[in-house]
Chain A
Amino acid sequence: MYAQMVDTGVAKVRDVAEMTQEERAFQDRIDADVKVEPKDWMPDAYRRTLIRQIQQHAHSEIVGMLPEGNWITRAPSLQRKATLMAKVQDEGGHGLYLYCAAETLGVSRDAMVADLHAGKVKYSSIFNYPTLTWADIGTIGWLVDGAAIMNQIPLCRCSFGPYARAMIRVCKEESFHQRQGYDIMLALCRGTPEQKVMAQDALNRWWWPSLMMFGPPDAASVHSAQSARWKIKLLSNDELRQRFVDQTVPQADYLGLKVPDDRLAWSAERGHYDFGEIDWQEFHEVIKGNGPCNRERMQTRIKAWEDGAWVREAALAHAEKHAARERQAA
Chain B
Amino acid sequence: MDDDPRLFDYVLRLADNGVVLAQRLGEWVGKGPALEEDIALTNVGLDLLGQGRMWLAYAREIEARYAPPGRGEDALAFLRDGGEFRNLLLVEQPNGSYADTMARQFLFDQWHLMLLGALAGSKDERIAAIAAKAGKEVRYHVERSADWTIRLGDGTELSHRRMQDAVDALWMYTGEMFAVDAIERGLVAAGVAADAASLQGPWRSAVAAVFDEATLAMPGDGWMQGATGRGGKQGIHTEHLGHMLAEMQIVARSHPGARW
Identify the A interface with B (CB < 8 A).
62, 65-66, 69, 72-78, 80-82, 85-86, 88-89, 92-93, 95-96, 99, 134, 184, 187-188, 191-192, 194-195, 300, 303-304, 307-315, 317-319, 321
Given contacts A92-B38, A300-B30, contact A194 B46 (CB under 8 A): no
Cα A315 to Cα B158 in complex, Å, equals 12
Cα A96 to Cα B38 in complex, Å, equals 11
Chain B residues, CB < 8 A from A81: 22, 26, 49
B31 & A311 in contact (Cβ 8 Å cutoff): no
Question: Which secondary structure dominates where chain B touches chain A?
Answer: helix
Chain B residues, CB < 8 A from A313: 155-156, 158-159
Given contacts A73-B248, A307-B33, A318-B155, contact A89 B46 (CB under 8 A): yes
Cα A319 to Cα B148 in complex, Å, equals 12
A311 & B159 in contact (Cβ 8 Å cutoff): yes
A304 & B42 in contact (Cβ 8 Å cutoff): no
Chain B residues, CB < 8 A from A99: 35
Name, among A72, A73, A78, A303, the residue most crowded by chain B CB atoms within 10 Å (CB to CB): A78
A310 & B156 in contact (Cβ 8 Å cutoff): yes
B39 within 8 A of A: yes
Given contacts A76-B78, A85-B42, A134-B251, contact A304 B49 (CB under 8 A): no
A77 & B252 in contact (Cβ 8 Å cutoff): yes
A88 & B30 in contact (Cβ 8 Å cutoff): yes
B124 within 8 A of A: no
Question: Which secondary structure dominates where chain A touches chain B?
Answer: helix
A82 & B258 in contact (Cβ 8 Å cutoff): no
Q: Which of A65, A89, A312 contacts B34 (CB 8 A)?
A: A312
Chain B residues, CB < 8 A from A77: 74, 78, 252, 260
Given contacts A78-B53, A187-B259, A192-B257, 7 further A-B contacts (CB under 8 A): A69-B29, A69-B30, A72-B27, A78-B19, A191-B259, A307-B33, A310-B159
B46 & A308 in contact (Cβ 8 Å cutoff): no
Chain B residues, CB < 8 A from A312: 33-34
B248 & A321 in contact (Cβ 8 Å cutoff): no
Cα A321 to Cα B19 in complex, Å, equals 37
- Chain B residue with minimal CB distance to A319? B151
Q: Which 8 A-B pairs have the closest CB atoms?
A: A308-B33, A314-B155, A314-B159, A311-B33, A65-B30, A69-B29, A69-B30, A76-B251
B251 & A62 in contact (Cβ 8 Å cutoff): no
Cα A307 to Cα B39 in complex, Å, equals 17
B23 within 8 A of A: yes
Q: Mark interface residues in B225-260 (1 if CB within 8 Å of A CB, else 0).
A: 000000000000000000000011011100101111
B156 & A314 in contact (Cβ 8 Å cutoff): yes
Name, among B26, B30, B156, B251, the residue most crowded by chain A CB atoms within 10 Å (CB to CB): B30
Chain B: interface residue total (CB-CB under 8 A): 50
Identify the B interface with A (CB < 8 A).
19, 22-23, 26-27, 29-39, 42-43, 45-46, 49-50, 52-53, 56, 73-74, 77-78, 97-98, 150-152, 154-156, 158-159, 162, 247-248, 250-252, 255, 257-260
Q: Which of B19, B37, B158, B260 contacts A80 (CB 8 A)?
A: B260
A318 & B154 in contact (Cβ 8 Å cutoff): yes
A314 & B158 in contact (Cβ 8 Å cutoff): yes
Given contacts A187-B260, A300-B31, contact A194 B151 (CB under 8 A): no
Q: Which of A72, A93, A95, A317 contacts B155 (CB 8 A)?
A: A317
B77 & A314 in contact (Cβ 8 Å cutoff): no
- Chain A residue with minimal CB distance to B29? A69
Pick 23 A–B contacts, CB within 8 A, sort by A: A69-B31, A74-B248, A76-B258, A78-B49, A78-B52, A82-B49, A85-B29, A85-B45, A92-B38, A93-B39, A95-B35, A188-B260, A300-B30, A308-B33, A310-B158, A310-B162, A311-B37, A311-B98, A313-B155, A313-B159, A314-B151, A318-B150, A318-B151
